Amino acid sequence: MEIWINPACSKCRSAISLLDAEGAEYTVRRYLEDVPSEDEIREVLERLGLEPWDITRTQEAAAKELGLKEWARDDSARDRWIAALAAHPKLIQRPIITADDGSALVARTDDAVQDALSRK
């Protein structure tokens, strides 16, 4: 399992603490330093079953500068959203856990982290 984190994020730190408390084996990816490619974002979106706008932090300054709230949210705009996430990784919702069973989830709650732990 891999977890994409921003160490400054309290929800990320909470998820890591819970994984550690459960003795989980995982790899940490500091996605602001090790920025995911557009293809990696596409893969994670497929595993999440979500669209790029579903995992975008629209309140971030970069989102406002880009005018993301006005962008279309359909297939024609999907690549544009993915390119924005790759160019501005701070826009990616966190933490994201890629589970051992091939799925992924946005683990912003303890229940979501437990869900990831149960996916073997």
For Cα atoms 117, 44, 51, give the angle at the middle one, nearest 5 degrees: 115
Total residue length of the chain: 120
Q: 3-state SS of the chain? A: CEEEECCCCHHHHHHHHHHHHCCCCCEEEECCCCCCCHHHHHHHHHHHCCCHHHHECCCCHHHHHHCHHHCCCCHHHHHHHHHHHHHCHHHECCCEEECCCCCEEECCCHHHHHHHHHCC
Q: Is 12 a catalytic residue?
A: no
Catalytic, out of 1, 9, 50, 77: 9
Catalytic residues: 9
